[in-house]
């Protein structure tokens, strides 16, 4: 069975500083990987996805993520955070032949001025 671990429950970062959110997955074959963001009181919005090919993927809002098969990781990064990036971030894993996704527990990001 596939699973996702997000080791950091809560991260606080200063506005303008860089951000990295960790994600480790467990899956037997080549995974489909996703990062979603949830603003307070809202649904989840897709930031980026990895299916195959280039292991560095670019997403919306200036985010990028790198797939590292050897480490079973798919970490999310942003070079300079904005106050509007304060939200909860979820990593998810799926498969090419299955619509279902498994989500991590989420990381809450707080941005301080």
Partner 1 sequence: NAGVTQTPKFQVLKTGQSMTLQCAQDMNHEYMSWYRQDPGMGLRLIHYSVGAGITDQGEVPNGYNVSRSTTEDFPLRLLSAAPSQTSVYFCASSYETGELFFGEGSRLTVL
Footprint on this chain of partner 1 (rule: CB under 8 A): 4, 6, 9, 32, 34, 36, 41-46, 49, 51, 90, 94-96, 98-106
**84 dihedral zone (left: phi>0; alpha: psi -120 to 50; beta):** alpha
Distance in Å, CB of 106 to partner 1, minimum: 5
**Residue recorded with tokens 């079973």:** 72
Distance in Å, CB of 93 to partner 1, minimum: 10
Distance in Å, CB of 49 to partner 1, minimum: 6
Q: Kind of pairing, strands 10-14 and 56-58?
A: unpaired
Length of the chain: 113
Integer angstrom CA distances of residue 74 from 4, 23, 46: 10, 5, 15
Cβ proximity to partner 1, 43 vs 70, nearer residue: 43
Distance in Å, CB of 86 to partner 1, minimum: 17
Cβ proximity to partner 1, 54 vs 98, nearer residue: 98
Rounded distance between C-alpha atoms, residue 35 and residue 78, angstroms: 13
Cβ proximity to partner 1, 14 vs 26, nearer residue: 26
């Amino acid at each position: 069975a596939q699973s996702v671990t997000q080791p950091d429950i809560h991260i606080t970062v200063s506005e303008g500083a860089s951000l990295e959110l960790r994600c480790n997955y467990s899956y037997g074959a080549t995974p489909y990987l996703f990062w979603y963001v949830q603003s307070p009181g809202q649904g989840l919005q897709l930031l980026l996805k990895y299916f195959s090919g280039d292991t560095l993927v670019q997403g919306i809002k200036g985010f990028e993520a790198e797939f590292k098969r050897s480490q079973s990781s798919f970490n999310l990064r942003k070079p300079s955070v904005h106050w509007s990036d304060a939200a909860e971030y979820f990593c998810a894993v799926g498969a090419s032949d299955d619509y279902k996704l498994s989500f991590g527990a989420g990381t809450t990001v707080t941005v301080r001025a």
